[in-house]
Amino acid sequence: MTTSIEETHVPLQGSERTALPGARFLAPADPNQRIEISVVVRPRQKPHPEQLAQPPQRRKQLTREEFEATYGSDPADLELVETFAHEYGLTVVETSRARRTVVLGGTVAAFSQAFGLQLAHYAQEGRTYRGRTGPVLIPKELAGVVEAVLGLDDRAQARTHFRRRQGFEPHTSPGTFTPVDVARLYNFPGLDGSGECIGIIELGGGYRTSDLRTYFRALGRPMPRITAVSVDGAHNLSTGNPDGPDGEVMLDLEVTGAVAPKARLAVYFAPNTDRGFLDALTTAIHDPVRRPSAISISWGAPEEAWTRQAMTAFDDALASAALLGVTVCCSSGDSGSSDGMTDSQPHVDFPASSPHALACGGTRLAASGTAITREEAWNETATGGGATGGGVSNVFALPDWQRGANVPSSGRGVPDVAGDADPQTGYQVRVDGLDTVIGGTSAVSPLWAGLMALINQKLKAEGLSAVGFVQPLLYSAPIQTAAFHDVTLGDNGAYRAGPGWDPCTGWGTPDGTKLLELLTSTEGRA
């Protein structure tokens, strides 16, 4: 008697997919096409929230070897996945205990049979993607072992969070800044990032070394050491379009390279899919060669665009970063409190909404000389521009360390911090041979990642651990009151800026030197 898949398999919790809005079915996927996917398995144990919330000077910073032994995957779980793969004619391409990931390869037909689904091609807004509907089914013996199956559906998962200022010459436009200017206005410490590595996640585009040389020469800064790391077959590929992902890549490199000129920059290029995004993040976190102490992510999407399995896997990865002393800075989005959704309700962007990410919002900055004269929440929607993302998560609960911040609901509040983001007061950069001005919260995450690298340089010189999971410290006295320029003007749609923390700019923009002083003082580490 033939056994049906319903008898041997169960739905993987949180794996349900629907077609994209307006998507049109084209044809079934070619059954002979070979693809690769990532299977994420459970950790041997999860860290306790209290452990993550401790100041880094009290928390034992794990080595990567210690992390793998304690929080990596159980070899028995990996063996179960490998046995399942061979049963269905799939090949094991790679396994990683630290990343808790098994990469499987095989034909569309084999994956369809293994996971009880049908893959098809869809068209939506001029793009095509391979997709599925409904849940992924996994064998009953893998229930509770497998947390996510990513890569069967290859729709574009995230978007960039930068906006280019149009119609102005950057070096004659009043009110725009170089990254060095912004760092000076925010009183960044007089350090250069020596000994640190900053990881940068990119889901498309690329950089031209000739443009970077020209840019940093004009800026009077040394050319940073940059390494491109290929993830899931993606690589540094400049498109020649400054309004495309090249703008994101160059902005990230030029901001981090300007504020932390002696830090090494590692750019992890991955496909723009949920699988590619997660694999890039876990590869950066667990990179045994470059070992970044700060990671910048300027890509994201509304929480509603993600499967719960993917969000859980991301949040676990970000918690792993916290254990390893890595600060992950994420842009909060450029579409105000709606985050680009059209249901007239507030939404927040992920992965910024993870409690284990440092969520970075945006401001409009005005200055005279070396002094800030006015700063308000970035909102140019009235003139067709963008606005800082921010609000309250519909997925993640309010963290304990955020309970005293007057978050207007019971979810995780976004953002934590902010920085200059309005394109009208944006950053002078060079992209694909063009000198231009770019803003957006995409500029804020590399700015904060650069600041974290400077702080880590000083902490390590004093024999202290990297700052790592900095969020609980930012919400503690005296840092929350003494290390920020409180932004009390403006709004992002549903929310208004005000004294203290708010869902537009978090605690505000940094006084980098004061933040460093407090983090290295007994009082700041209490």
CATH number at residue 517: 3.40.50.200
Domain boundary among 114, 129, 150: 150
CA distance 96 to 243: 36
Neighbouring-strand partners of residue 349: 302
Set 442, 445, 491, 502: catalytic member = 442
Residues 213 and 339 occupy one common structural domain: yes
Q: Which two tokens stand for residue 144?
A: 């509770």
Single pTM value for the model: 0.96
CA distance 330 to 340: 17
Dihedral angle at the C-alpha atoms of 107, 313, 101, 204, nearest 10 degrees? 70
Q: Is 343 among the residues known to form the active site?
A: no
CA distance 298 to 352: 9
Q: What's the pLDDT score for residue 54? A: 64
Residues 195 and 302 occupy one common structural domain: yes
Set 153, 154, 202, 252: catalytic member = 252
Q: Is 442 among the residues known to form the active site?
A: yes
Domain residue limits at 330: 159-525
CA distance 236 to 231: 10
Residues 281 and 379 occupy one common structural domain: yes
Task: Tell me whether the omega of the peptide bond preceding residue 351 falls within 30 degrees of 0, making it cis.
Answer: yes
Domain boundary among 102, 128, 150: 150
Residues 45 and 178 occupy one common structural domain: no
Q: 14: exposed, middle or buried (C-beta count within 10 Å: 0-12, 13-18, 19+)?
A: middle
SS3 at position 26: strand
pLDDT tens across 357-383, in order?
A: 999 999 999 999 889 999 999 999 998
Residues 125 and 166 occupy one common structural domain: no
Residues 117 and 21 occupy one common structural domain: yes
Set 196, 246, 248, 376: catalytic member = 248
CA distance 412 to 352: 10
Q: Let me know: does 387 contact 460? Beta carbons within 8 Å.
A: no
Number of domains forming the structure of the chain: 2
Chain mean position to CA 148: 19
Q: Let me know: does 62 contact 323? Beta carbons within 8 Å.
A: yes
Domain boundary among 89, 118, 150: 150
Residues 375 and 471 occupy one common structural domain: yes
Q: What's the pLDDT score for residue 526? A: 42
Residue 285 region by backbone torsions, left for phi larger than 0, else alpha for psi between -120 and 50, else beta: alpha
Residues 77 and 178 occupy one common structural domain: no
Residues 481 and 382 occupy one common structural domain: yes
SS3 readout for 129-167:
EEECCECCEEEHHHCCCEEEEECCCCCCCCEECCEECCC
Q: Let me know: does 265 contact 256? Beta carbons within 8 Å.
A: yes
Q: Is 502 among the residues known to form the active site?
A: no
Residues 321 and 231 occupy one common structural domain: yes
Low-confidence ranges of the chain (pLDDT < 50): 1, 523-526
Residues 180 and 55 occupy one common structural domain: no
Q: Which of 165, 212, 240 is nearest to 443 (CA)?
A: 165
| Sheet arrangement for strand 91-96 | 91-96, 101-107, 34-41, 146-150
Residues 117 and 174 occupy one common structural domain: no
Contacts (Cβ under 8 Å, ≥6 apart) of 380: 386, 387, 422, 423, 424
